């Protein structure tokens, strides 16, 4: 007797955890217009992907599927790997229109349980936008609550991306994300864990990993600004302090990523051997040389800068000197061969909209293929999981998204993902019109 056909539905589709677990085990043949090889930029046309037990079993133009395989017709969609955002904040949310997000205010006004609920909604929104993997760069005062979100996603209880998490980021007393400007007689929580010296850095890293962190995030620079036409930013940790953090993270089998907008902090971070320099607004020639040599990723996060400069983000909406400087520096980084990973800094602006980062990376100088690589294979390499994610290859997780058209010709298509599969489970789709009988078609 033939197995009962389970329809995958039409339009937006969110599966229950029980159904999703069963669906991930059923073989599925995806039939689309094309499959993109993100390593080369070449297309397989038509594109077919066979998924078995949550992983990719075969890719080709004409596949023979085992009997009983469900066939999912995706029409004119182009398939590419699930997108990877290496800089998100699930525990932050956007401010009302026209107001700049008040991160400290969220910490004061909103309880950790409330923020955790919002983080689960943010995770779902990001997944539905095609981001099947994310690196959460600090809970901004919510401690290790990201551990609970990650575990719930991994157990299939809620929809969301594969998560790399850091808990609270690490900063210095009075530094970035410190609660400054309040009545000192009233204890106001900081949005990061404040430390002084190598001993406290190491102790904090050990505590964070005990509580579930899978990598370490540190604030290496404070607030950036233009002064008399010059970009100025203050460093926070010395190179020996960062090197001690990198060594301790390595002892635990993981890595350090830093919030870092410029020099000399960026040089200290590169010398210490961090995994990524996030924001990377200013990089000296020596810093760029070390980043190329050590394969340290720059994560530009243009979208957050553009958002804060816009009227929607509380800015003027006009020319912005920091962005102009950042764009010029980015072009120098491209010329120097600095490796890039995609990161949007989503949270202060609405979750699920961060694919705009691909547009900005192309707008400021990357080719569409290089931008897509930044958000797929490079992101996987940064997260040290390239054997499982980042490209559509046999044996890797079936983390697959689909767009209607050619993203190498129109990078904005990534802002309108129409199909999302994670681990062989369809979370967003365009319908199932196959017969589920297998065989060559």
What is the pLDDT tens value at each position of the chain, 441 positions in all? 333 333 343 333 444 443 455 455 789 999 999 999 999 999 999 999 999 999 999 999 999 888 889 999 999 999 999 999 999 999 999 877 656 666 657 778 899 999 999 999 999 999 999 999 999 999 999 999 999 999 999 999 999 999 999 999 999 999 999 988 888 898 888 999 999 999 999 999 999 999 999 999 999 999 899 999 999 999 999 999 999 999 999 999 999 999 999 999 999 999 999 999 999 999 999 999 999 999 999 999 999 999 999 988 888 889 999 999 999 999 999 999 999 999 999 999 999 999 999 999 999 999 999 999 999 999 999 999 999 999 999 999 999 999 999 999 999 999 999 999 999 999 998 654 333 333 322
The pLDDT of residue 154? 97
Asked if residue 346 lies in contact with residue 83, where contact means CB atoms within 8 angstroms, the answer is no
Element (H, E) at 47: strand 47-52
The alpha-helical segments, DSSP class H, found in 94-238 are: 103-109, 112-128, 145-154, 197-210
Asked if residue 379 lies in contact with residue 84, where contact means CB atoms within 8 angstroms, the answer is yes
The pLDDT of residue 24? 59
Element (H, E) at 372: helix 368-374
Topology annotation, domain 83-382: TIM Barrel (3.20.20)
pTM above 0.75, yes or no: yes
> Residue 32: which of 19, 14, 51 has the closest Cα?
51
- How far CA 263 is from CA of 208, 246, 266, 282, 325, in Å, comes to 28, 19, 5, 6, 14
Q: Which residues contact 124 (CB under 8 A, 6 or more apart)?
A: 14, 158, 159, 160
Please tell me the distance from the alpha carbon of residue 104 to that of residue 177, in angstroms, as a whole number.
8
**In the chain, which residues fall in CATH 3.20.20.140?**
83-382
DSSP letter for 290, please: H
Give SS3 for 164. Answer: strand
Please tell me the distance from the alpha carbon of residue 321 to that of residue 4, in angstroms, as a whole number.
61
* 352: alpha, beta or left? (left if phi > 0; alpha if psi -120 to 50): left
For domain 17-81+398-428, the CATH superfamily is Urease, subunit C, domain 1 (2.30.40.10)
Residue tagged 């100088």 (tokens) = 365
- How far CA 51 is from CA of 45, 56, 59, 147, 161, in Å, comes to 18, 5, 9, 29, 19
Asked if residue 255 lies in contact with residue 248, where contact means CB atoms within 8 angstroms, the answer is no
Please tell me the distance from the alpha carbon of residue 219 to that of residue 235, in angstroms, as a whole number.
9
- The DSSP-derived string for 229-281 is TEEE--B-S-HHHHHHHHHHHHHTT--EEEEE-STTHHHHHHHHT-SEEEE--
Please tell me the distance from the alpha carbon of residue 241 to that of residue 256, in angstroms, as a whole number.
12
The gap between the terminal CA atoms of the chain, to the nearest Å, is 22
**In the chain, which residues fall in CATH 2.30.40.10?**
17-81+398-428
Contacts 24+ apart (CB under 8 A), 112-117: 112/142, 112/143, 112/145, 115/91, 115/139, 115/142, 115/145, 116/91, 116/142, 116/145, 116/148, 116/149
The pLDDT of residue 97? 66
Specify burial of residue 362 (Cβ count, 10 A radius: 0-12, 13-18, 19+): middle
DSSP letter for 2, please: P
């Amino acid at each position: 007797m033939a197995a009962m056909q389970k329809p995958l539905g039409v339009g937006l589709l969110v599966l229950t955890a029980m159904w999703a677990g069963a669906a991930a085990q059923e073989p599925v043949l995806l039939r689309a217009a094309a499959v993109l090889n993100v390593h080369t930029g070449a297309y397989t046309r038509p594109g077919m992907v066979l998924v078995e037990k949550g992983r990719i079993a075969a890719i080709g133009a004409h596949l023979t599927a085992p009997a009983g395989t469900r066939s999912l017709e995706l029409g004119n969609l182009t398939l590419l790997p699930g997108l990877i955002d290496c800089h998100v904040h699930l525990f932050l949310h956007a401010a009302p229109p026209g107001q700049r997000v008040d991160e400290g205010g969220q910490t004061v006004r909103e309880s950790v349980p409330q923020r955790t609920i919002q983080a689960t909604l943010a995770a779902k929104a990001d997944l539905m936008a095609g981001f099947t993997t994310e690196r959460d760069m600090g809970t901004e005062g919510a401690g290790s609550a990201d551990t609970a979100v990650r575990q719930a996603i991994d157990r299939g209880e809620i929809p969301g991306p594969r998560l790399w998490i850091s808990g609270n980021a690490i900063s210095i007393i009075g530094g970035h994300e410190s609660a400054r400007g309040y009545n000192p007689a009233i204890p106001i929580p900081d949005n990061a864990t404040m430390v002084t010296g190598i001993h406290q850095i190491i102790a904090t890293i050990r505590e964070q990993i005990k509580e579930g962190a899978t990598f370490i995030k540190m604030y290496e620079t404070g607030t950036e600004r233009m002064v008399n036409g010059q970009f100025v930013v203050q460093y926070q940790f010395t190179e020996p302090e960062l090197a001690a953090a990198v060594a301790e993270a390595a002892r635990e089998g993981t890595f350090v990523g830093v919030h870092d907008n410029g020099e000399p902090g960026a040089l200290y971070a590169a010398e210490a051997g961090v995994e990524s320099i996030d924001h990377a607004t200013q990089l000296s020639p020596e810093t760029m040389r070390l980043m190329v040599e050590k394969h340290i990723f720059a994560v530009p996060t243009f979208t957050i800068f553009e958002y804060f400069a816009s009227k929607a983000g509380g800015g003027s909406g006009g020319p912005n000197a920091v962005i102009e400087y950042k764009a010029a520096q980015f072009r120098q980084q491209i010329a120097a061969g600095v490796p890039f990973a995609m990161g949007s800094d989503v949270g202060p602006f609405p979750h699920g909209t961060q694919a705009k980062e691909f547009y900005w990376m192309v707008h400021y100088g990357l080719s569409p293929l290089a931008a897509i690589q930044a958000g797929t294979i490079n992101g996987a390499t940064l997260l040290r999981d390239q054997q499982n994610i980042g490209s559509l290859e046999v044996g890797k997780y079936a983390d697959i998204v689909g767009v209607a058209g050619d993203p190498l010709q129109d990078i904005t298509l990534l802002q309108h993902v129409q199909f999302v599969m994670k681990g062989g489970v369809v979370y967003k789709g365009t319908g199932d019109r196959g017969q589920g009988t297998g065989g060559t078609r």
